[in-house]
Amino acid sequence: MTQPATRTQKHHIGRVIKRQLWVLFILIALAIVIDMVLLHTQLLVAKSLSIGALLSFATQVVFASFIFWHSGYRARQHIVTQLYRGQMVKWLLTIVGFAAIFIMVKPLSAPALFFGFIIMQISHSLLLWKQH
């Protein structure tokens, strides 16, 4: 007989978010060191990478807050609805965030921006995968 899947608790996701904060901090620190020592681009790469990583982190936190708005068996329909809403808001914030960054931040290194965003997405997936 199969058993129902265990529900991910809020504190597990909270731990993943705290770990991702450490990844964010380390990524920004490494970018600053590499930019100052190797590239000498007046922190252009570090700034762009940091902005991309922060955008990814912020959208993940917004998504997590939507998911855990409701809990319990009786709220299952609300949970599914919040999952869809959270995903839509996350994508909307990502698109608006990238548009605002490209419009407002000058000078900008687009490869570093996307690299920071992608690294944070990968780290979030890995941290959640290791959680289970």
Kindly report, residue by residue over 107-118, the tens digit of the pLDDT: 999 999 999 999
Check whether 31 has a pLDDT greater than 60.
yes
The answer to whether residue 64 sits within a structural domain is yes
The answer to whether residue 112 sits within a structural domain is yes
32 C-beta neighbours (distance < 10 Å), count: 16
The answer to whether residue 120 sits within a structural domain is yes
91 vs 129 pLDDT, higher one: 91
The answer to whether residue 17 sits within a structural domain is yes
Structure tokens at 86: 């959270």
Q: What is the pLDDT of residue 7?
A: 55
19 vs 100 pLDDT, higher one: 100
The answer to whether residue 118 sits within a structural domain is yes
Check whether 130 has a pLDDT greater than 80.
no
Tell me the per-residue pLDDT of 85-103, one tens digit each, with 9 for 90 and over.
Answer: 888 999 999 999 999 999 9
Check whether 47 has a pLDDT greater than 60.
yes
The answer to whether residue 4 sits within a structural domain is no
Q: What is the pLDDT of residue 110?
A: 93
The answer to whether residue 131 sits within a structural domain is no
Q: What is the pLDDT of residue 67?
A: 77
Q: What is the DSSP letter of 37?
A: I
Structure tokens at 63: 């998504």
Tell me the per-residue pLDDT of 53-75, one tens digit each, with 9 for 90 and over.
Answer: 999 999 998 888 877 765 666 66
Q: What is the pLDDT of residue 48?
A: 93
Q: What is the pLDDT of residue 5?
A: 55
30 C-beta neighbours (distance < 10 Å), count: 12
Beta carbons within 8 Å of 29's beta carbon, 6+ residues apart: none
The answer to whether residue 5 sits within a structural domain is no
Structure tokens at 112: 């570093």
Check whether 8 has a pLDDT greater than 90.
no
Containing structural domain, residue 56: 10-126
Domain count, the chain: 1
Structure tokens at 117: 């965003």
